[in-house]
Each structure stands twice: as structure tokens, then as C-alpha cells.
């Protein structure tokens, strides 16, 4: 099923970075989902992991990693660790990874799942706050659909850093790559996507007549 995911979902799209393909071929997604969901681990959709959360579809994860162009020189912040799958993939690509999860139950599962990776640090904290004590980060990856990116996160990006994220734009989730330059982050949307909302990034609801 993992091989089929790579062949039918990743290679048929714009996931062309051989290191991303190798990492996603290596990490067993089924180990990061509840036993009842393991038969759906490689489906082209979000997989429920409990606590009202879902693992992003493989294609969404693959395309974000592909555009981020992560190397062993990168210090990465992962926002929304969930049960640890994306952090485990990032461990194959980056030099160091700081993964933040705000749900205590999921963070505990992720901590156990990531115990073998000595270049990943799992932190319990609010998603929108990132993890400033380990900043700056050359790459920030937000693992889930968000409505906005707060300044608290972009402030933790290195001067020439990049941020890979799925932003809901007029009700449509779109993958985007942001690049930091001169103190500002500019985003380029490049594809529609599937996914599951990541708590903490909702825009304030305005009153309408």
C-alpha cells in the first residue's frame, strides 16, 4: 500500500524530490494511526487519529515537503505534530526538527512514536505560538488547514526562511509556499488540496447584515 501511494499519488503529481519520495516510502504511516484506521492509512484523504483531528492526506504532505526543499542544513519547526507522522518524515530530510502539538493526548502518542529519532524534539504548546525558544527556523511547516498565519509564527522564521502551509482561501484550501525577505513573508499558492483544519488558526468571525 505504501508503494502504491508513492506510485499513484506522489509520482503522478509534482512530487519530484527524490529525497521526499524516499522518506515517505520509508516511514510506515500505519504505525501513526489508531489500529481501526490502519487499512485507510494510505488512502488519498485525511485519516482520523482521534481528539477530533486527522492526519493530512499523503499528497498534501508530499507536495508541501516537495516545495520546501528541505536539506540536512535546515532547522525545521513543525506546527501540529499530531501523532508524529510528518515529524518522522521530516527527520529523514532535515538536520533538526522541533515539533509542536497542543493536544496533550496526541503529544504523548507522538512522543512515543518519535522516541527513536534523535534529531526530533516534541514540545507541548499552542500551535499559534510555535516554539520561540528554538527559533529562528529555516523552514516552518504547518500540518493542517489554516485560515491565517499569525505574526507569532512568521517572527520565528529565519531571514531567508520559507514556510509551507495549506491556507483556506475563500473557502478553498490551497497549498502555499511563503518566503521571508526584508522582514516580510510573501506567499505563492500553487495547488488546491485536501486536509483537515488545524485548531488555533481560525479567523475572528465578523458580523454581517
Can you give the residue ranges of every domain in the chain? Answer: 2-192
Using alpha carbons, select from 95, 34, 37, 84 the residue that is nearest to residue 61.
84
Reported as half-sphere exposure (CB side, CA atoms, 13 A), residue 25 has a value of 14
DSSP-derived pairing of the beta strands 172-181 and 53-55 = unpaired
**Confidence class for position 19, pLDDT limits 50, 70, 90:** very high
pLDDT at residue 11 greater than cutoff 80: no
pLDDT at residue 110 greater than cutoff 70: yes
Local structure of 100: helix, strand or coil: strand
48's enclosing H/E stretch is strand 47-50
Q: Mean per-residue pLDDT for 42-60? A: 92
pLDDT at residue 50 greater than cutoff 90: yes
Least confident of 2-11, 100-109, 139-148: 2-11
State yes or no: is 56 an active-site residue: yes
Give the pLDDT score at 203.
Answer: 79
Using alpha carbons, select from 187, 145, 134, 128 the residue that is nearest to residue 162.
187
Q: Which CATH superfamily is domain 2-192 in?
A: Vaccinia Virus protein VP39 (3.40.50.150)
CB atoms within 10 A of CB 115: 11
pLDDT at residue 13 greater than cutoff 80: no
Instruction: Please give the sequence-ordered ranges of beta strands (E in DSSP) within 125-192, or none if there are none.
Output: 137-146, 157-169, 172-181, 184-192
pLDDT at residue 87 greater than cutoff 60: yes
159-176 per-position pLDDT tens digit: 999 999 999 988 899 999
Q: What's the N-to-C CA distance of the chain in angstroms? A: 50
DSSP-derived pairing of the beta strands 137-146 and 53-55 = unpaired
pLDDT at residue 207 greater than cutoff 70: no
Active site residue: 56, 134, 138, 206, which one? 56
What is this structure's pTM?
A: 0.94
Amino acid at each position: 500500500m505504501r508503494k502504491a501511494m508513492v506510485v499513484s499519488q506522489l509520482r503522478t503529481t509534482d512530487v519530484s524530490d527524490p529525497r521526499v519520495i524516499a522518506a515517505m516510502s520509508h516511514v510506515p504511516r500505519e504505525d501513526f494511526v489508531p489500529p481501526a484506521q490502519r487499512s485507510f492509512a494510505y488512502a488519498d484523504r485525511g485519516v482520523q487519529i482521534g481528539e477530533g483531528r486527522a492526519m493530512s492526506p499523503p499528497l498534501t504532505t508530499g507536495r508541501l515537503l516537495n516545495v520546501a526543499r528541505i536539506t540536512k542544513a535546515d532547522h525545521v519547526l513543525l506546527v501540529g505534530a499530531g501523532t508524529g507522522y510528518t515529524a518522522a518524515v521530516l527527520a529523514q530530510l532535515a538536520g533538526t526538527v522541533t515539533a509542536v502539538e497542543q493536544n496533550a493526548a496526541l503529544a504523548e502518542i507522538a512522543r512515543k512514536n518519535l522516541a527513536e529519532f534523535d534529531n526530533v524534539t516534541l514540545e507541548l504548546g499552542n500551535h499559534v505560538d510555535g516554539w520561540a525558544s528554538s527559533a529562528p527556523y529555516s523552514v516552518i511547516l504547518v500540518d493542517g488547514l489554516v485560515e491565517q498565519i499569525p505574526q507569532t509564527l512568521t517572527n520565528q522564521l529565519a531571514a531567508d526562511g520559507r514556510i509551507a502551509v495549506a491556507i483556506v482561501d475563500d473557502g478553498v484550501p490551497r497549498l502555499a509556499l511563503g518566503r521571508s525577505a526584508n522582514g516580510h513573508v510573501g506567499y505563492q499558492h500553487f495547488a488546491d488540496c485536501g486536509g483537515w483544519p488545524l485548531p488555533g488558526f481560525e479567523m475572528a468571525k465578523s458580523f454581517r447584515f
